[in-house]
Structure 1
Amino acid sequence: MPSSLEIVRIPALSDNYIWLVHEPVSGETMVIDPAVAEPVLAEAEARGWKITQIWNTHWHPDHTGGNAAIKETTGCHITGPAAEAARIPTLDRRVGEGDRVTLGGVEAEVLEVPAHTAGHIAYHLPSEEVVFVGDTLFAMGCGRLFEGTAEQMHTNLQRLSKLPPETRVYCAHEYTLSNARFAVTMEPDNQALLERVAAVEAARALGQATVPTTIALERATNPFMRVSSAEELAERRIAKDSFKA
């Protein structure tokens, strides 16, 4: 089912993606993880959209750096992880596992997915077949384990893998080419992976974005989602951390 939301990709910094999300019935507009404010405000103004909300997935500055300026300009309401509220001083609402947030008439469920950071959350919008995952799940990759464990990340990825296969996954970075080249070293005989790598290399050669991805694609080609244990994920994460694409 196609989403009723309009979701716009805004590149920022060296490889970040900020997501500008418009719900046309209510006219509400939300920003996921604004690294910086200027391109977000410019894009919203160009489209005639008023930003009413920001949803943060975790505290890292390349996900919250634009919060204060956007809030000062628009008066928007900021939602983010309760467990990281001390590190996100601009929050208006603190949320955790099972909480609901809304954009107009569209509801999102908050999923706690700690590992990249201790309080990382994701936002699943089941009616739209969309999930915003921050730095937990990437196209053919997963986030570094800065504040959590391989066991936590394994639990996260297995949980996300159980979402409907058509669910579109909006992550926050263009890491796909490096992830793809690493993935092939883990599963060199995975035909679906080999085909995807070729498509990604062609897209990036043309300067095209490679996300959003889908749960189905990740089930078939993501070496971190396809592991059989947390121990195997840990081994692959250590290997990826030192991998030179």
Structure 2
Amino acid sequence: MPAFPKNSLSVLTVPAFDDNYLWLIHDGVHAAVVDPGDAGPILAALEAHGLSLVAILLTHHHADHVGGVPQLLKHAKVPVYGPAHENIATVTVPLGEGDTVYIEQLALTLSVLDVPGHTRGHIAYVAAEQHWLFCGDTLFAGGCGRLFEGTPAQMLNSLAKLASLPGATKVYCAHEYTLSNLRFAREVEPGNPLLTQRIADEQAKRDRGQPTVPSTIALEQQTNPFLRATEAAVIARLQAAGRLAEAGPVAALAALREWKNVYK
């Protein structure tokens, strides 16, 4: 494996399961892992790249995000950061809106946002200096998470928080759902030329075996229907499809999510 430059932070993509991405934030020596649903790929990546695990960061309680934590803790006794409003037995540092995480070995500062909707207590981590966002299953490239526990109003507010981040912010979401999401986005907004170009670009990445993630906040603002729920073209399409019974952004977000749930 190629050596990483020391003391310069970067993010290593670690695929897992069928379509998950686990993230290793590292400086060439130390590493923090985000949402390790499976310990095996993380332990293999740590060994391959000569990295020492120093922290675990969790966004929500679903098994494909937390399942590998117990095994990782057998490998290294490290702090486990996670949402204060979810019951995750391995969390040692519960977090919520406004909290800050400082990982000394990486000299990395992360701010915490409450972003409920997918789950009730979902959180996200923002590395403002690096322009990185680790958002779990709240915001996806081209989409958003299903509303398993939260409400459309919560998801709308959570997405608005994330959309307000600087446009250059890289969006490290947790799944390779991008092409499926963009097919739905094209159904919602067929006249968006930026969306047409994005589909071509992302398909080319997949054809080369490359991840489509990270995205950027700017790209999501331009092409993600869940961040564009108040756009006139999106509202008109929902109305034409007979899917919008009420006015307002919450109803539009709910209609989009319900449509996506059944879209093939």
Of 113, 116, 135, which aligns to 1:133?
135
Of 232, 242, 245, which aligns to 2:262?
242
1:233 and 2:235 correspond: no
TM-score (norm 1): 0.94
TM-score (norm 2): 0.88
Between the two proteins, the alignment pairs up a number of residues equal to 238
How many angstroms does 1:205 deviate by? 2.5
When the two chains are superposed, the root-mean-square deviation of aligned CA atoms in Å is: 1.2
3-state DSSP class of the match of 1:127? Answer: coil
Structure 1 counterpart of 2:26: 22
3-state DSSP class of the match of 1:62? Answer: helix
Runs (5+) with no aligned partner, structure 1: none
Is the Cα contact below 8 Å between 1:4 and 1:128 reproduced in 2? no
The 5 Å alignment of 1:80-95 reads 80-84=82-86, 86=87, 88-95=88-95
Q: Which 4+ stretches in 1 moved above 3 angstroms?
A: none
Which amino acid in structure 1 is aligned with residue 18 of structure 2? S
Distance, in Å, in 2 between the alignment partners of 1:42 and 1:143 is 28
How many angstroms does 1:28 deviate by? 3.1
Is the Cα contact below 8 Å between 1:106 and 1:125 reproduced in 2? yes
Which amino acid in structure 1 is aligned with residue 43 of structure 2? L
Structure 2 counterpart of 1:6: 10
Which amino acid in structure 1 is aligned with residue 252 of structure 2? E
Runs (5+) with no aligned partner, structure 2: 1-6, 231-248
Is the Cα contact below 8 Å between 1:168 and 1:215 reproduced in 2? yes
Structure 1 counterpart of 2:56: 54
How many angstroms does 1:4 deviate by? 4.0
Distance, in Å, in 2 between the alignment partners of 1:159 and 1:95 is 17
The 5 Å alignment of 1:201-220 reads 201-220=203-222
Distance, in Å, in 2 between the alignment partners of 1:174 and 1:6 is 20
How many angstroms does 1:216 deviate by? 0.4
Deviations 1:57-78 (A, max 9, x none): 0000000000000011111211
Distance, in Å, in 1 between the alignment partners of 2:176 and 2:228 is 21
How many angstroms does 1:100 deviate by? 0.5
Of 197, 216, 219, which aligns to 1:195?
197
When structure 1 is superposed on structure 2, of 105-114 and 203-212 the one drifting more is: 203-212
Which protein has the larger Cα radius of gyration, Structure 1 or Structure 2?
2
* Identity %, equivalent residues: 48
Structure 1 counterpart of 2:241: none
Which amino acid in structure 1 is aligned with residue 13 of structure 2? R
3-state DSSP class of the match of 1:132? Answer: strand
How many angstroms does 1:206 deviate by? 2.7
| Larger RCO, structure (CA 8 Å, separation 6 or more) | 1
Which amino acid in structure 2 is aligned with residue 7 of structure 1? V
